[in-house]
Amino acid sequence: MAIWDYANPTRFLRLVEIILPWLIAACAAAFAVGLYKSFFMAPEDYQQGDTVRIMFIHVPAAWLAMMCYSIMAISSLGTLVWKHPLADVSAKAAAPIGAALTFTCLVTGALWGKPMWGTYWVWDARLTSVLVLFIMYLGLMALWRTMEDPIKAGKAAAILTLVGALNLPIIKFSVDWWNTLHQPASVIRLDGPTIHPDMLVPLLVMALAFTLLFFVLHLMAMRNEVLRRRVRAMRMRAASVAAPATARATAQPAE
């Protein structure tokens, strides 16, 4: 595999080895502080009671799910424009994490919705947008899985990711529009600017912890993907021993 002959991924792997322990430690610390604060320091909501603590998972997951898509869109630009060999590894590694984050967001949203709205699912504009994002993550993962050649799959997925990035604001806008049309009753804004500092601090700490967690998982997944591609390249080389990879050329006149 040509691009893996370059030193770049090797250097990347070495860098990951150095960064990862620190990142894991920081992530664990942030979660320790964040979880402690959100469970023991943050006050109960006068209306929602303890249920409000779900928000400390739900909101960061939603934020991170959107950040994850932005990272994938930037990586896709990297694949198509700069042709960086690690860009499509990054995009591919981010998709399952994004799917997991949207899934977390949907599940916690449903669990919060049952006591609050009396139902697990409401076709609220935000929940619907997250659901669409979830489907798009799964579709991208399916595209990656169905295509045999990782380079080709990377390019195809990059195009789709960018089209999706163009389309997501339109989807968000149209879902909002659709939502106001069908149910004018507004949903309580929890992450608005009116939030009390006692709640805001744990929320921000948790957001930091989730961000760190995302990068830990993303780097690990990227490392796995690099190694997986090396295994693939080795297997292909092993298969083509009879007909090795390079051709030699000789040209002479035929007379």
Judged by CB under 8 A, the residue of 163, 188, 227, 234 near another protein is 163
Residue 72 near residue 161, CB atoms below 8 Å? yes
In the complex, minimum distance from the CB of residue 242 to another protein, in angstroms, rounded to a whole number: 8
Task: Rule CB under 8 A: say whether 233 interacts with another protein.
Answer: yes
Placement of tokens 């004018």 in the chain: 184
**Closest by Cα among 136, 241, 125 to 183:** 125
CB atoms within 10 A of CB 131: 17
b/e sequence 3-26, b meaning 16+ C-beta within 10 Å: ebeeeebeebeeeeeeeeeebeee
Residue 175 near residue 40, CB atoms below 8 Å? no
Residue 243 DSSP label: S
Q: Which is nearer to another protein, 95 or 205 (CB)?
A: 95
State residue 45 phi and psi, 5-degree precision.
Answer: -75, 140
Q: Which is nearer to another protein, 21 or 184 (CB)?
A: 184
Tokens of 154: 């990377």
Task: Rule CB under 8 A: say whether 1 interacts with another protein.
Answer: yes
Judged by CB under 8 A, the residue of 107, 147, 204, 208 near another protein is 147
Q: Which is nearer to another protein, 28 or 132 (CB)?
A: 132
CA distances from 159 to 73, 98, 134, 154 (A): 9, 18, 18, 9
Scanning 46-54, 69-77, 86-94, 139-147 for contacts with another protein by CB under 8 A, the matching segment is 139-147
Task: Rule CB under 8 A: say whether 170 interacts with another protein.
Answer: yes
The C-alpha torsion from 114 through 117 and 119 to 122, rounded to 10°, is: -120
Task: Rule CB under 8 A: say whether 85 interacts with another protein.
Answer: no
Tokens of 197: 């500092």
Judged by CB under 8 A, the residue of 10, 174, 183, 224 near another protein is 174
Q: Which is nearer to another protein, 119 or 250 (CB)?
A: 250
Q: Which is nearer to another protein, 2 or 7 (CB)?
A: 2
Q: Which of residues 178-207 bind another protein (CB under 8 A)?
A: 178, 181
Q: Which is nearer to another protein, 15 or 236 (CB)?
A: 236
* Length of the chain as a residue count: 255
Total chain residues near another protein (CB under 8 A): 51
Judged by CB under 8 A, the residue of 14, 152, 196, 228 near another protein is 152
Residues that bind another protein (CB under 8 A): 1-2, 80, 132, 135-136, 138-139, 142-143, 146-152, 155-156, 159-160, 162-164, 166-167, 170-171, 173-175, 177-178, 181, 232-233, 236-237, 240, 243-254
